[in-house]
């Protein structure tokens, strides 16, 4: 049994003097993620015209991106400059909780947003009576609490396992990799993790598919002008779903491979996709594509320039 109080994150490359340019690049990415998502949140909170369900969920998506980035980047930036990549067990399990509750919350928020688009397109006359402030709060709480409880249970069960190793083949702590270090059979822990992930994923996927099947069916029978309007309204959400599916699938596939048999640079890039790409692209997609948000962002910066 391994009694070490630390885990070793083993796939960091020894890039020598190039660590400083890598640090600067990753720091710039982190600053951009924080600033871009904060702008979205501030604009939506400031503008009363944006206090509708769709924009509240967009702000929630940006807040979740900030949450996940804060749980990953500070530690990652220190590791880039360090020769040893050790992380204490409590800090490791805390990082697992933050990163994976961020990842699953991203999925459930997108599912809730699909329901909002369904009501807006298919039941426009009842939109404001259905998507009340209370309903929006309930949906937001559901999107955040259920993933958090599931990840909390998974982390609790993993933390109780006796471990026979301390090397994690990742750039950050991963629950799946910790469970693989267990000295005893961990079937129950793995079953709970897999079943919980499948429930969240399939329920959300069903909600998204059902919503868009109904939207497509309605658009099929409607005039081209209506179709164009719906397409412009739903496109940012569809793109966000596509980005999330690709990046999550890449990380899942990586977990099934032995990283030592892969090109280290490829393994690093793939493992970072779901932590970097959605937080960068989502605020750009919603900030630039939706004219309501774009207009208020322009006004915000014009106001600051005039001060």
Mapped onto helix, strand or coil, the DSSP state of residue 161 is coil
Q: What would the mean pLDDT of 222-230 be, rounded to a whole number?
A: 82
Q: What is the DSSP letter of 167?
A: E
Picking from 130, 125, 109, the residue whose alpha carbon sits closest to that of residue 56 is 109
Task: Give which of 53, 49, 36, 30 is closest to 237, Cα–Cα.
Answer: 53
Identify whether the C-beta of residue 102 lies closer than 8 Å to the C-beta of residue 71.
yes
Lowest mean pLDDT among 55-64, 120-129, 251-260: 251-260
What is the structure's pLDDT at 306? 57
What pLDDT digit, counting tens, does each position of 148-182 carry? 999 999 999 888 888 888 888 888 988 888 888 88
Please report the pLDDT score of residue 37 as a whole number. 96
Say what the pLDDT of residue 1 is: 53
pLDDT digits (tens, 9 = 90+) for 136-155: 999 999 999 999 999 999 99
Burial-class residue 242 by CB neighbours within 10 Å (0-12, 13-18, 19+): exposed
Q: Which residues of 249-276 are buried (b: 16+ CB within 10 A; e: fewer)?
A: ebbeebbeeebeeeeeeebbebbbbbbb
Burial 194-215 (b: 16+ CB within 10 A, else e): eebbeebbeebbebbeebbeeb
Q: Which residues contact 52 (CB under 8 A, 6 or more apart)?
A: 131
SS3 percent helix, strand, coil of the chain, rounded to 5, is 80, 5, 15
Q: How far is residue 212's CA from residue 207's CA, in Å, rounded to a whole number?
A: 9
| Confidence check: pLDDT of 26 > 70 | yes
pLDDT, average across residues 72-92: 89
Nearest CA among 235, 212, 255 for reference residue 103:
255
> Is 280 strand, coil or helix?
helix
Distance CA 282, CA 78 (A): 26
Q: How far is CA 80 from CA 18, 54, 74, 128, 196, in A?
A: 10, 38, 10, 49, 33
Q: What is the mean pLDDT of the chain?
A: 87
What's the rounded Cα separation, in Å, for the pair 135 and 164?
Answer: 47
Alpha-carbon 108 to chain mean position: 10
Q: How far apart are CA 290 and CA 288, in angstroms?
A: 6
**Is the whole model's pTM more than 0.85, yes or no?**
yes
Which domains does the chain possess?
Answer: 6-305 (1.20.1070.10)
pLDDT at 74 over 90: yes
């Amino acid at each position: 049994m391994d009694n070490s109080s630390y885990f070793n994150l083993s796939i960091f490359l020894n890039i020598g003097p190039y660590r400083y340019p890598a640090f600067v690049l990753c720091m710039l990415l982190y600053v951009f993620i924080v600033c871009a998502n904060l702008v979205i949140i501030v604009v939506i909170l400031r503008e009363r015209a944006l206090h509708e369900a769709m924009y509240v969920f967009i702000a929630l998506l940006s807040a979740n991106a900030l949450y996940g980035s804060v749980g990953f980047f500070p530690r990652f930036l220190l590791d880039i400059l360090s020769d040893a990549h050790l992380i204490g067990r409590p800090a490791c399990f805390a990082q697992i909780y933050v990163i994976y509750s961020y990842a699953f919350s991203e999925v459930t928020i997108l599912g809730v947003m699909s329901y909002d688009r369904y009501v807006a397109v298919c039941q426009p006359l009842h939109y404001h009576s259905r998507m009340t402030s209370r309903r929006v709060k309930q949906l937001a709480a559901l999107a955040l609490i259920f993933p958090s409880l599931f990840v909390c249970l998974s982390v609790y069960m993993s933390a109780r396992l006796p471990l026979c190793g301390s090397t994690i083949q990742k750039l950050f702590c991963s629950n799946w990799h910790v469970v693989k270090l267990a000295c005893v059979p961990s079937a129950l822990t793995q079953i709970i993790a897999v079943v919980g992930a499948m429930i969240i994923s399939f329920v959300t996927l069903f909600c998204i598919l059902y919503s868009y099947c109904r939207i497509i069916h309605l658009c099929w029978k409607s005039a081209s002008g209506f179709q164009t309007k719906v397409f412009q309204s739903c496109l940012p959400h569809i793109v966000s779903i596509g980005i999330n599916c690709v990046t999550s699938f890449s990380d899942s596939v990586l977990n099934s491979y032995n990283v030592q048999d892969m090109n280290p640079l490829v393994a690093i890039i793939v493992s970072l996709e779901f932590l970097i790409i959605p937080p960068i692209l989502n605020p750009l997609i919603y900030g630039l594509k939706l004219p309501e948000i774009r207009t208020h962002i322009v006004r915000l910066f014009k106001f600051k320039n005039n001060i």
